[in-house]
Amino acid sequence: MPWRSLLVLTVLAAPWFTPVAPARADDDGLAALVQVLQQIDDDGVRRDLLIGMREGLKGRKDVPLPDGWTKIYPTLAKSANAQVRDYARALAITFDDPTAIAEVRAVALAKTASATERNAALQMLVDKRLADFAPTLQTLLDDPVVQRTALRGLAAYDDPHSAKMILERYPRLDSDARQDALTTLATRKQSATELVAAVEQNIIPRRDLSAFLVRQLHALKDEDLSRRLRAAWGDIRETPQDKQAKIAKYTQLLNGDVLAQGNAAAGRAIFERTCKQCHTLYGEGAKIGPDLTGSNRANLEYVLTNVIDPSAAIAREYKMNIIITADGRVLTGMIVEKTGDRITLQTVNERIVLVEDDIEDLQESPVSMMPEGQIDALTPEQVRDLVAYLATKQQVELEGTK
């Protein structure tokens, strides 16, 4: 339908869409779009308009309710088209429409809703920074279906009780949830201090803290905290000579005879535990780092250099940035998208959209998102198995699943 594309073009060209446009023009433009919505009864067109509106408002938290919205929302919420319902609800949340907020909150808490729906609903409320929501997120820490979303969401709230509640549950969390817990604790000074205290008391095993996370803790720029961290965890600064020596050591250790005994199935299990959160191999895994399927991964030198000294050569798009937000959070990640005054940051465990006003300080860091020292957490046999797995030409059965 040609006029549908025309409409979408109109949305994209609308003055409020340009993020630099002054707030007043934004709101007028929005009201005009709501008016267009009222005149349309084609669900496909409605959906496209809603998508355009959402795109334009991404990252903005307090957008005043545009004129006419409360009149059109009930119709959109009852549409036969699921996408129209979902997008309309997401927009209504952005506009602080109390009916929609109550609906989404009910879905997030409903034990009968699906895991996908509950997590999406919860994420929506966190993105919205719903006021006084931290206590609800804290109770959801004990709900396995939404536990990880709750753990990540608590990072958005500066609530003095969160750290203690997360730390109490830490020993019972699985390894993915532990990463979420640590990332959340490391984002603010107060919770980071409690995190370091837990490492000092061995409540959190020292090896759970990646070099990456330790770097984020140092980025909080609290001298006392950094000093305690160095005492409890050690120093991350390995010299280039240390790394060269380590590469040489493993090159010698992993000679042809040793590699021939490698267990690729066991190696796959190690890959899934330590690398898959960032890399894809054989079509499975995340895309924070490059897809390793077509890489030179059967070459021992290539693997060792990249794993032991990831910051030696980093492509521009993988440079890590350290951002201090206006509400006092420290975030580290790669900037994956930049449009107008909005940036999308990919952290180790989530994608965050920020607008200029959210950012107090942004610095590019010379180190890779790929953590150093991963190999130190593995036994020589495990390194051998991982290398054997990386050298495979096709996917192997995961150890223990046969």
Give yes or no for a contact between 30 and 60, defined as CB atoms under 8 angstroms apart: no
Segment contacting ligand HEC by CB under 6 A, of 34-42, 92-100, 185-193, 290-298: 290-298
Binding of ligand HEC by 373 (CB under 6 A): no
> Strand 284-285 and strand 280-281: pairing?
antiparallel
Binding of ligand HEC by 295 (CB under 6 A): yes
Nearer to ligand HEC, 47 or 279 (CB): 279
Q: At residue 50, what is the residue type?
A: L
- Count CA atoms within 13 Å of residue 240 on its CB side: 3
Which one of residues 343, 369, 383, 388 is an interface residue with ligand HEC (CB under 6 A)? 369
Give the DSSP per-residue string, 97-166. -HHHHHHHHHHHH-TTS-HHHHHHHHHHHHHTT-TT-HHHHHHGGG-TTTHHHHHHHGGGS--TTHHHHH
Torsion of CA 206, 212, 215, 220, to 10 degrees: -90
Residues in region 319-358 near ligand HEC by CB under 6 A:
348
Binding of ligand HEC by 310 (CB under 6 A): yes
Which one of residues 318, 335, 341, 395 is an interface residue with ligand HEC (CB under 6 A)? 318
Structure tokens given for 316: 């521009």
Q: How far is the CB of 296 from ligand HEC (least distance, A)?
A: 7
Nearer to ligand HEC, 8 or 377 (CB): 377
Tokens 């061995």 belong to 202
**Angle at which helices 69-77 and 82-94 cross, to 10°:** 150
Interface characters, 239-278, with ligand HEC (x: CB under 6 A): -----------------------------------xx-xx
Alpha-carbon distance 182 to 320, whole Å?
A: 18
Site size toward ligand HEC, by CB under 6 A: 23
Segment contacting ligand HEC by CB under 6 A, of 21-29, 94-102, 140-148, 286-294: 286-294
Nearer to ligand HEC, 162 or 332 (CB): 332
By CB under 6 A, name the binding residues for ligand HEC.
274-275, 277-279, 288-290, 292, 295, 303, 306-307, 310, 314-315, 318, 348, 368-371, 374
